[in-house]
Amino acid sequence: MTGRLRHWITEIRRRRAAKACILMYHRVAAEECDPWDLCVSPQRFEDQLRSLARDYRVVALTELLAEHLSQRLSDGTVAITFDDGYADNLQAAAPLLVRNGLPATFFVTSGAIGSQREFWWDRLERCLLVAGQLPDRLQISAAGSEQSWDLGSAKVGFDPSVRGAKPWEADPTTRLGFFYEIWKYLRGLDEVAREQALAAVEQWSGTGHQTRPTHRILSAEEVRELAGLPGMTIGAHSVSHATLSACDASVQRLEIRRSKEDLQHLLGRRVPMFAYPFGDFGPETPGMVREAGFDGACIADPGAVWVDTDPFQLPRVAVLDWDAAEFARQLSRARQ
Ligand SMILES: [Zn+2]
């Protein structure tokens, strides 16, 4: 059989197969500045939940996985997930989920629990996008080397009311493009070097390092409270939100294993699911997640779960701040 023929047979099987969708949220909040589209407003979230309750069969992620593994997956099944561990997951998302009787899994970055600081990408956003005029040149010494950037026209502030601009599509001479350059640089550093570099950016931008209440991370007590609500479960999302493919094998194993152990210790129950930070993983990573004792893992690539889906590479639909009509359109597109 030729490769092309095999591809078409798989494609026909896929189109006819029963499919389930895993939804990926991050925050339920209304932020003016949201470069990574992490926020769904409380009103829109409630509208989306109502349409899920009406038109789909929403189950816990572990139940979706069990049905998938036993080939009992029924068409139109949906599971809801949240990544990172923002405090608004408990304050804003969970009450709406409970009120609508819908279960959800929250993938929590275990090392960030109770942090008095924001996630590093939020701190960077505050320094470079919320801030107004910035100095001409940024110079950072971290990880034993020095880097510098001339801001040029990016000195002028960013207008967060300009919606739809994506950091990865932005012109590098703009503030958003400059933000993306520094984001990529920080993402490539290890945790210690990143903290050092970020502290330098905070000082340079003059924005300091106060934590915005809106961007707060769940405390240990709040993670327990979330796990105690009906239908809510906690999953692991590494210790430090590491870019796993860039880490040595030993560091990857530690990030995966320790996030599971720490959460299990905190909750006093098994944590069966993992989500790759940034949706990023190397060829060996899914095997490490399996060896660490997880039952399955979510990626961040779009798509539906069907009979051929690897349980350690479960695709997810990233939900944006869509109204009910757009939400329905996107879900039906994902299941094609
Ligand atoms: Zn994440």
Of the three residues 182, 210, 238, the one that is the final residue of a domain is 210
Please give the distance, rounded to the nearest whole angstrom, from the Cα atom of residue 277 to the centre of ligand 1.
Answer: 4
Q: Please count the structural domains in the chain.
A: 2
- For residues 186 and 259, membership in a common domain is answered with no
Residue 1 has pLDDT above 70, yes or no: no
Model confidence over 263-280: pLDDT tens digits?
A: 999 999 999 999 999 999
Of the three residues 210, 241, 264, the one that is the final residue of a domain is 210
CB atoms within 10 A of CB 39: 23
Model pTM above 0.75: yes
Could you tell me the sign of the dihedral formed by the alpha carbons of 146, 152, 157, 163, in that order?
A: negative
- For residues 179 and 275, membership in a common domain is answered with no
Determine contact, residues 179/167, Cβ cutoff 8 Å: yes
Residue 3 has pLDDT above 90, yes or no: no
The pair of structure tokens assigned to 207 is: 């924005």
Please give the distance, rounded to the nearest whole angstrom, from the Cα atom of residue 322 to the centre of ligand 1.
Answer: 20
Q: 51 lies in which domain range?
A: 3-116+216-334
Please give the distance, rounded to the nearest whole angstrom, from the Cα atom of residue 307 to the centre of ligand 1.
Answer: 26
Determine contact, residues 307/71, Cβ cutoff 8 Å: yes
Model confidence over 248-307: pLDDT tens digits?
A: 999 999 999 999 999 999 999 999 999 999 999 999 999 999 999 999 999 999 999 998
Please give the distance, rounded to the nearest whole angstrom, from the Cα atom of residue 109 to the centre of ligand 1.
Answer: 7
- For residues 311 and 328, membership in a common domain is answered with yes
- For residues 83 and 196, membership in a common domain is answered with no
231-266 CB burial, b ≥16 within 10 A, e <16: bbbbbbbbbbbbbbeebeeebbbbbbbbbbbbbbeb
Please give the distance, rounded to the nearest whole angstrom, from the Cα atom of residue 101 to the centre of ligand 1.
Answer: 25
- For residues 111 and 250, membership in a common domain is answered with yes
Of the three residues 210, 234, 259, the one that is the final residue of a domain is 210
Determine contact, residues 227/233, Cβ cutoff 8 Å: yes
Model confidence over 209-233: pLDDT tens digits?
A: 788 999 999 999 999 999 999 999 9
Confidence band (pLDDT; 50, 70, 90) for 45? very high
Q: What is the mean pLDDT of residues 107-113?
A: 98
Determine the pLDDT at residue 256. Answer: 98
- For residues 105 and 25, membership in a common domain is answered with yes
Element (H, E) at 310: none
Confidence band (pLDDT; 50, 70, 90) for 53? very high
Nearest in space to 183 (alpha carbons), one of 198, 173, 171, 161: 198
One DSSP character per residue, 247-262 reads S-HHHHHHHHHHHHHH
Q: What is the mean pLDDT of residues 30-53?
A: 94
Model confidence over 153-169: pLDDT tens digits?
A: 787 777 766 666 789 98
- For residues 165 and 271, membership in a common domain is answered with no
Please give the distance, rounded to the nearest whole angstrom, from the Cα atom of residue 281 to the centre of ligand 1.
Answer: 12
- For residues 316 and 269, membership in a common domain is answered with yes
Determine contact, residues 247/238, Cβ cutoff 8 Å: no
Please give the distance, rounded to the nearest whole angstrom, from the Cα atom of residue 84 to the centre of ligand 1.
Answer: 5
Please give the distance, rounded to the nearest whole angstrom, from the Cα atom of residue 3 to the centre of ligand 1.
Answer: 36
Please give the distance, rounded to the nearest whole angstrom, from the Cα atom of residue 237 to the centre of ligand 1.
Answer: 7
Residues with CB under 5 A from ligand 1 (ion): 83-84, 277
Please give the distance, rounded to the nearest whole angstrom, from the Cα atom of residue 41 to the centre of ligand 1.
Answer: 19
Please give the distance, rounded to the nearest whole angstrom, from the Cα atom of residue 8 to the centre of ligand 1.
Answer: 34
Furthest CA-CA distance within the chain: 64
Residue 170 has pLDDT above 80, yes or no: yes
- For residues 196 and 248, membership in a common domain is answered with no
Model confidence over 114-142: pLDDT tens digits?
A: 999 999 999 999 988 887 888 888 998 88
Please give the distance, rounded to the nearest whole angstrom, from the Cα atom of residue 184 to the centre of ligand 1.
Answer: 15
CATH number at residue 316: 3.20.20.370
φ, ψ at 99 (rounded to 5°): -60, -35
Determine the pLDDT at residue 161. Answer: 60
Task: Give percent of the chain with pLDDT exceeding 70.
Answer: 98
Determine the pLDDT at residue 154. Answer: 81
Nearest in space to 174 (alpha carbons), one of 187, 189, 185, 162: 162
- For residues 18 and 103, membership in a common domain is answered with yes
- For residues 246 and 162, membership in a common domain is answered with no
Residue 27 has pLDDT above 90, yes or no: yes
Determine the pLDDT at residue 151. Answer: 84
- For residues 153 and 248, membership in a common domain is answered with no
Please give the distance, rounded to the nearest whole angstrom, from the Cα atom of residue 175 to the centre of ligand 1.
Answer: 24
